[in-house]
Amino acid sequence: MKAYQVVENGKPLEKKEVDTPIPTGKEILLKTVSCGVCHSDVHIHDGYFDLGADMKLPMPLAEPLTMGHEIFGEVVAIGDEVSSVNIGERYVAYPWIGCGNCDLCNSDKTHYCLNNSNLGINVSGGYGDHVLVPAEKYLFDAGDTPHSLAGSYACRGLTAFSALKKAAPFDQNGSLVIVSAGGLGLLALKIARAAYDINPIVIDIDDEKLKVAKNLGAVEIINSSNEGAAEKLMEITNGGANAIVDFVGAEASVNLGYQSLAKGGTLVVVGLFGGQITIPLPLLTLTEKKILGSYVGSLGEMRELMKLVSNGKIEPVEVESRNVSEANRTLKEMKNGDLQGLVSLTHD
């Protein structure tokens, strides 16, 4: 099989010929139909996260890695203990796979497991033309979802869904603020409409992207680079937002979000842009504001999300499909902020 691998952090991926895995026991072999390029891939490729103040969180490679954790594939071979999955069927693979034996794994938190083998992060993923999935419980039907989008529900869709759950409840239009009108922000907007039947306020620094968000149902849009943006947000939320989900995670966006929260409000930080913020601790106490991190989501949340997806409840977002040979160009454009929406890779 062919795989595009990170051989050295930050250097272009290399096309390699590797052995095609043979599934045994509970394992399933998928032929990759499409694999989303997620912003985490940029950090995995670089080998670090930016912690701000010139600090980095390193994530060095142990060995060459086939990235790609937003996998949609067709079953081409199964182990002898697989019972409910058949050759020829197509599925989204849940990539956040734990050891299966620890307290976290036993309480539906395999995505927190310290001995994880996450597809495309610790073990081979969808930048290869075949992917080995350890068990059928990690596979989900996507209904009539476009092939190019389906895999993205396993990371970006799940991330948005889990973050919205942490920020809920939302009682009316405008009771949720989404920071970012990029690919993930728009996906969250559509999931909020499907799962909670509300139209959010959307914040971004790009008027073109904000226009798209407005057309997709944002009840209000705010360009946070304009003067008076914070005041405008306070005004339309009647003195402060109850729920903000920040898909950027930059110092400026998190500061704006934290300051714009109502008493008792919740700010969920999802984006990994990087940096640091300073909070006066007595104000944290006095205002009872909550600031939470959210990273991907549990298998149980994936099940809930994929029920909405396979029933056609979530309006699809547009995805640009590219051949996997364009993986390097795609990562570079994503890193530079030059991609407008979602991109997925095919192996045809």
On whether the CB atoms of residues 83 and 52 are closer than 8 A, the answer is: no
On whether the CB atoms of residues 155 and 68 are closer than 8 A, the answer is: no
Closest distance to Zn ion from the beta carbon of 208 (Å): 24
Instruction: Report which DSSP code applies to 94.
Output: P
The three-state secondary structure class of 4 is strand
* CB closer to Zn ion out of 38 and 261: 38
On whether the CB atoms of residues 257 and 270 are closer than 8 A, the answer is: no
By CB under 5 A, name the one of 82, 105, 177, 181 that touches Zn ion. Answer: 105
* CB closer to Zn ion out of 115 and 276: 115
Annotate each residue in 186-215 with x if it binds Zn ion (CB under 5 A) or - if it does not, as one string: ------------------------------
Work out whether strand 220-223 and strand 201-204 pair parallel, antiparallel, or are unpaired.
parallel
Residue 339 sits in the site that holds Zn ion (CB under 5 A):
no
Closest distance to Zn ion from the beta carbon of 231 (Å): 34
Residue 128 sits in the site that holds Zn ion (CB under 5 A):
no
Work out whether strand 130-133 and strand 28-36 pair parallel, antiparallel, or are unpaired.
antiparallel
Closest distance to Zn ion from the beta carbon of 101 (Å): 6
Burial, 179: exposed, middle or buried (Cβ in 10 Å; 0-12, 13-18, 19+)? buried
Residue 38 sits in the site that holds Zn ion (CB under 5 A):
yes
By CB under 5 A, name the one of 44, 97, 113, 176 that touches Zn ion. Answer: 113
Closest distance to Zn ion from the beta carbon of 109 (Å): 8
Closest distance to Zn ion from the beta carbon of 133 (Å): 17
Closest distance to Zn ion from the beta carbon of 29 (Å): 22
CA distance 98 to 124: 15
Residue 155 sits in the site that holds Zn ion (CB under 5 A):
yes
* CB closer to Zn ion out of 126 and 174: 126
Q: Which residues of 26-37 are buried (b: 16+ CB within 10 A; e: fewer)?
A: bbbbbbbbbbbb
Closest distance to Zn ion from the beta carbon of 155 (Å): 3
Q: Which residues of 154-163 are buried (b: 16+ CB within 10 A; e: fewer)?
A: bbbbbbbbbb
* CB closer to Zn ion out of 105 and 181: 105
By CB under 5 A, name the one of 5, 32, 34, 40 that touches Zn ion. Answer: 40
* CB closer to Zn ion out of 38 and 201: 38
Closest distance to Zn ion from the beta carbon of 163 (Å): 13
* CB closer to Zn ion out of 155 and 243: 155
Torsion, CA 322, CA 327, CA 331, CA 334, rounded to 10: 0
Residue 163 sits in the site that holds Zn ion (CB under 5 A):
no
CA distance 268 to 321: 30
Residue 176 sits in the site that holds Zn ion (CB under 5 A):
no
- Which of 83, 92, 39 is closest to 305 using CA atoms? 92
Residue 98 sits in the site that holds Zn ion (CB under 5 A):
yes
On whether the CB atoms of residues 250 and 274 are closer than 8 A, the answer is: yes
Residues in contact with Zn ion by the rule CB under 5 A: 38, 40, 98-99, 102, 105, 113, 155
